[in-house]
Amino acid sequence: MVEPDIFYILGNRVRRDLLSHLTCTECYFSFLSSKVSVSSTAVAKHLKIMEREGILRSYEREGPFLGPARKYYDIDIARTYVVTITSNLFWYRGLELEPLEVPEIEAGDDLLGMINSFLELTDELEEILRSLRSVEARRDGLMAGIKARYLEEAGDMTQLAVLHYLLLHGRATVDELSDRFNLKEREVMAKVKELGRFVPLKIKDGVIEIDRIRLKRSGEGDAGTD
């Protein structure tokens, strides 16, 4: 499945409100429509967008009273997003939650015990976020230093942009870089070759990445590309 455009989805206040209601209870269309301050036509459009992006699924179910079946909506994604936006970094990663083993709630489970467990996990999450702030502050500072030093030594903004992309995404294809920087493939390869004079790279089957093994041995003075 293609990664949903989560920034596009969450960039709209109405869609955020609809998602909030859907995390509280199962919802049919008219209920959702009554909870936001836009027309039912607009609500239908927002729901359709989120369903198209793979955020929601819809299904019909008989109501508690006589009458036609109602169309219900449910969140159809289980993912955590980690996002960093600074003057030196813009990256995000979606972490799938489906494979995690979620314990089933038994009928006899104590409500207050479950609430306490949830709050303890929230405290644990806060600890992780504190660590993340520290790591991202360090990465941001290092990226700023890398940019300044590379421009000082190589002086080429396009090479730096390729390096920046590889650092944030781990690897890239020639096609990706061609689209990203509006360059012909041969121009991409020329820039990569020049970059390889300063940073050790691996290039195989059109995939480019930083050679981390050779990077650790950089003190021997051998950068270059394979």
Condensed to tens digits (0 to 9), the pLDDT of residues 168-180 reads 999 999 999 999 9
Q: What does the DSSP assignment read for 106-166?
A: PTT--HHHHHHHHHHHHHHHHHHHHHHHHHHHHHHHHHHHHHHHHHHHT--HHHHHHHHHH
Is residue 130 in some structural domain?
A: no
Is residue 65 in some structural domain?
A: yes
pLDDT category, 99, cuts 50, 70, 90?
low
Is residue 134 in some structural domain?
A: no
Is residue 82 in some structural domain?
A: no
User: How many Cα atoms within 13 Å fall on the side-chain side of residue 20?
Assistant: 9
Three-state SS for 181?
helix
- Residue with the two structure tokens 């041995």: 217
pTM of the model: 0.80
The span from the first CA to the last CA of the chain, in angstroms, equals 33
Q: The domain that contains 199 carries what CATH number?
A: 1.10.10.10
**Domain span holding position 50:** 6-77
Number of domains in the chain: 2
Among the residue ranges 3-17, 20-34, 57-71, the one predicted with the least confidence is 57-71
Is residue 120 in some structural domain?
A: no
Answer whether 192's CB lies under 8 Å from 201's CB. yes
Q: Any residues with CB less than 8 A from the CB of 77 and at least 6 apart, and which?
A: 4, 54, 55
Is residue 106 in some structural domain?
A: no
- Among the listed residues 150, 175, 170, the one whose alpha carbon sits nearest the alpha carbon of residue 161: 150
Is residue 10 in some structural domain?
A: yes
Is residue 178 in some structural domain?
A: yes
